[in-house]
Structure 1
Amino acid sequence: MAEADGATAPPRPSPDPDDVTWIEPPRCPECGASVRVYPTNYDRWVSLAMVELPAKDVPAAFRWRLTRVPDRSPVPTDILAVRVRGIDPLPSEPVAPAHHMMCVPE
């Protein structure tokens, strides 16, 4: 299921709590573009594009949504990437496209 969804990214490294240096977003090894890496709801990691696009511009196989992990705190503790399935989003609704949809190798 993970390979079919494109959720094959390595997990992001755990930052040292005492380190105050800026953390750059990871880069795609094929095209060099910045990507957002998020855990999925089935314990894998996926690389998403840095921008959200309207659902009409993203093929159904590459659509992801970012959802907050339920918690009592108003501050988001973590965010999960969930594949858009079942109910199609409205054409203008923003979705996060998988990076491999937009990847153009150098």
Structure 2
Amino acid sequence: MAVADGATAPPRPEHDPDDVTWIEPPVCPECGALIRIYPTTCDRWVSLAPMELPAKDVPEAFRWRLMPLPTRSPIPADIVAVRVRGIDPLPSEPVVPAHSMMCVPEWGEP
């Protein structure tokens, strides 16, 4: 099910808290665009686009939402990506598209 949803990204690398080197945001190895990598509810990881779009502009198979994990604290500890299914969102409702929808591999220099 995770593969069908596109949740095939490698997990985020673990960072050493004592390491003070600059941390660059992840980029897609295919197209070089910035991506956001989030865990999913099925213990997999998904690459998402860095911005939200209206649901009308994102095909149904690529719609994701970011949800905070429930905790006892009012401050969210982590965020998971959840596929938008069941009830369709309103056309103007924001969703996060999967990066695979927007990925255009670089074909080299012209």
In structure 1, the gaps of 5 or more residues are: none
Question: Do the aligned partners of residues 21 and 73 (structure 1) sit closer, same or farther apart at CA in structure 2, a change above 3 Å counting?
Answer: farther
Q: TM-score, normalised by structure 1?
A: 0.96
In structure 2, the gaps of 5 or more residues are: none
Return structure 1 stretches of 4+ with deviation > 4 angstroms.
none
Q: Which has the larger Rg?
A: 2
What letter is aligned with 1:51?
A: M
Distance 2:10 2:102 in 1: 18
For 1:84-95, what aligned pairs fall within 5 Å after superposition?
84-95=84-95
- The C-alpha deviation readout for 1:64-104, integer Å capped at 9, x for no partner, is 00000000112221000000000111111110000000000
Kindly tell me the number of residue pairs found equivalent between the two proteins.
106
Q: CA deviation at 1:3?
A: 1.4
- The C-alpha deviation readout for 1:43-82, integer Å capped at 9, x for no partner, is 0000000010000000000000000000011222100000
Alignment partner of 1:44 is 2:49: no
Q: TM-score, normalised by structure 2?
A: 0.93
Percent of paired sites with the same residue = 80
